[in-house]
């Protein structure tokens, strides 16, 4: 199975909000993250990821509604398990929902979801999402107990948090890669499907290809950053070409 690429467009919205958060109806508002999503899709993205945070620091409710209406591939809605956000997810009925932890003081998601501590609340939300036909993924650290909990919660996918791997060097990086490999094997044995994301870029993604059973990578910051010099379509095509090298 070819490795799919999900393009996260949050940082297109970050740039918009930096100028227009207080004047969202201005005729000058740009960039439009939905327009960016359509460019990414046309350039080969297999899906679009957008994180609707409780603090609405980048993606807004209207962006999610427009994405659902406009995309030809799929919308992967990243979301915290907060009642307000869950209600929007149930209304939109995104193809995929990836449940992630949220901390209002973080710059970006800093760690995986604790499925053990929050088992009961996650179980209720996953049941609601399944009832409207949404495929559920849990963004977790490469930890056996979290993987087992994800299986027990009946999520279809886990998304392995690759941040520790991406930020490490030397022996520590090798150890983090080993954790990811072992976690992907365990998840596959338990019947879970495996995605990965966080901190992946054009320099380190090939190293991740040692991890078996991967189906999709969700990448945002690196692609949007490269787009500043190459254009978004080229940045997506370059990452898509790297994904096509995956053989495991």
Enumerate residue ranges in the chain where pLDDT < 50.
107
- pLDDT at residue 73, rounded to an integer: 98
Q: On the CB side of 183, how many CA atoms lie within 13 Å of its CA?
A: 29
Contact in structure between 194 and 214 (CB atoms under 8 Å)? yes
- pLDDT at residue 248, rounded to an integer: 74
- pLDDT at residue 24, rounded to an integer: 84
Domain boundaries, the chain: 4-243
- pLDDT at residue 110, rounded to an integer: 65
Of 11, 41, 58, 78, which one is the catalytic site residue? 78
- pLDDT at residue 104, rounded to an integer: 58
- pLDDT at residue 234, rounded to an integer: 98
Residue 198 known to be catalytic: yes
CA distances from 104 to 7, 43, 136, 171 (A): 23, 33, 23, 32
CATH class of 4-243: alpha beta
Contact in structure between 136 and 129 (CB atoms under 8 Å)? yes
Two tokens, residue 220: 């945002």
Distance separating alpha carbons of residues 61 and 146, to the nearest angstrom: 30
Q: On the CB side of 49, how many CA atoms lie within 13 Å of its CA?
A: 27
Of 11, 41, 51, 216, which one is the catalytic site residue? 51
- pLDDT at residue 109, rounded to an integer: 54
- pLDDT at residue 102, rounded to an integer: 87
Residue 78 known to be catalytic: yes
- pLDDT at residue 211, rounded to an integer: 98
Distance separating alpha carbons of residues 90 and 136, to the nearest angstrom: 12
Closest CA to 162 of 210, 234, 104, 105: 210
Of 11, 58, 161, 198, which one is the catalytic site residue? 198
Q: What angle do CA 105, 22, 93 make, to 5 degrees?
A: 70
Find how far residue 218's CA is from the centre of its chain: 5
């Amino acid at each position: 199975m070819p490795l799919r690429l999900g393009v996260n467009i949050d940082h297109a919205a970050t740039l918009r909000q930096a100028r227009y958060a207080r004047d969202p109806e201005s005729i000058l508002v740009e960039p439009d993250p939905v327009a960016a999503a359509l460019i990414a899709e046309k350039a080969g993205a297999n899906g679009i990821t957008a994180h609707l945070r409780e603090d609405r620091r980048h993606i807004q409710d209207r962006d999610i509604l427009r994405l659902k209406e406009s995309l030809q591939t799929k919308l992967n809605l990243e979301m915290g398990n907060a009642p307000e956000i869950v209600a929007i997810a149930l209304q939109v009925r995104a193809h995929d929902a990836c449940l992630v932890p949220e901390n209002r003081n973080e710059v970006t998601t800093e760690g995986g979801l604790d499925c053990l501590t929050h088992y009961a609340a996650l179980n209720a939300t996953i049941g609601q999402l399944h009832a409207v036909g949404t495929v559920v993924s849990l963004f977790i650290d490469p930890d056996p107990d979290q993987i087992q909990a994800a299986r027990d919660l009946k999520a279809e996918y886990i998304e392995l948090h690759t941040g520790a791997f991406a930020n490490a060097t030397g022996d520590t990086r090798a150890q983090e890669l080993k954790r990811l490999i072992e976690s992907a094997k365990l998840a596959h044995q338990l019947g879970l499907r495996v995605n990965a994301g966080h901190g992946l870029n054009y320099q380190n993604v090939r190293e991740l290809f040692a991890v078996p059973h991967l189906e999709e990578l969700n990448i945002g910051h690196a692609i949007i950053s490269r787009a500043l010099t190459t254009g978004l379509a080229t940045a997506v095509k370059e990452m898509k070409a790297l994904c096509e090298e995956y053989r495991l």
